[in-house]
Amino acid sequence: MTDQVQPSETSAIPTKPTSASRTTLSHIMTGSDTNLLGTVHGGVIMKLVDDAAGAVAGRHSGGPAVTASMDEMVFLEPVRVGDLVHVKAQVNWTGRSSMEVGVRVLAERWNESTPAQQVGSAYLVFAAVDADGRPRPVPQVAPESERDKRRYQEAQIRRTHRLARRQAIRELRERRAAEGIDD
């Protein structure tokens, strides 16, 4: 999805602070969540990440938002049956109709009083859409803390890399097509 909303459409939308849409989704992991190794399946964690990020994107944009891409999903530690998983998400950056949502995944034993430890992280891009599935404008995010400002700046770097990668791939495919290479 691309941002095809006209800039004048976003000027009437007030900005929203980072905290306005920040959320935490918590879920206890059960036997039905496991993979063949007996730990929680990465796909289960990815779904929780997408669910939390989608809630944040919908809250921030004030309506439907769809997953456009997942830039990065890092699994730091395995999650086990009986872990209480907390998925913390917030909008890091906004474009005209797109938003980057950063997600931290933490886990703690359900029956222990030890602090939760980070077990994963992810960055997703969501596009706000109207009833016809077309891009619609989103409020700009207003970073509130130094951490929010750092996340905003890092999100801009990821966006620049995403766009450069997309352009390089497009140019490579065009060059191969011009050379008569059909893949």
Predicted confidence band at 97 (pLDDT cuts at 50, 70, 90)? very high
Q: What is the mean pLDDT of residues 14-19?
A: 94
- How much is the pTM? 0.87
Please write the tens of the pLDDT for every residue from 27-76: 999 999 999 999 999 999 999 999 999 999 999 999 999 999 998 899 99
Please write the tens of the pLDDT for every residue from 98-125: 999 999 999 999 889 899 999 999 999 9
- Is 136:57 a contact under the CB 8 Å cutoff? no
Predicted confidence band at 11 (pLDDT cuts at 50, 70, 90)? low
- Give residue 111's Cα distance to chain centre: 30
Please write the tens of the pLDDT for every residue from 117-148: 999 999 999 999 999 999 999 999 999 999 99
| 3-state per-residue secondary structure call for 7-60 | HHHHCCCCCEEHHHCCEEEEEECCHHHECCCCCECHHHHHHHHHHHHHHHHHHH
Please write the tens of the pLDDT for every residue from 76-91: 999 999 999 999 999 9
User: Reading across the β-sheet that carries 23-28, which strands appear in turn?
Assistant: 23-28, 83-94, 98-109, 117-128, 65-75
pLDDT of res. 55: 98
**Nearest 5 degrees, angle CA 147-CA 155-CA 125?**
120
Find all residues with CB under 8 Å of 8, minimum gap 6, and list them: none
- The one-letter amino acid at 29: M
- Residue 16 in tokens: 């929203």
144: helix, strand or coil: coil
Predicted confidence band at 10 (pLDDT cuts at 50, 70, 90)? very low
The H or E element containing residue 155 is helix 146-178
Mean pLDDT estimate for the chain = 92
Find all residues with CB under 8 Å of 5, minimum gap 6, and list them: 96, 97, 135, 136, 137
Please write the tens of the pLDDT for every residue from 150-182: 999 999 999 999 999 999 999 999 999 999 987
pLDDT of res. 152: 97
pLDDT of res. 1: 44
pLDDT of res. 4: 45
pLDDT of res. 39: 96
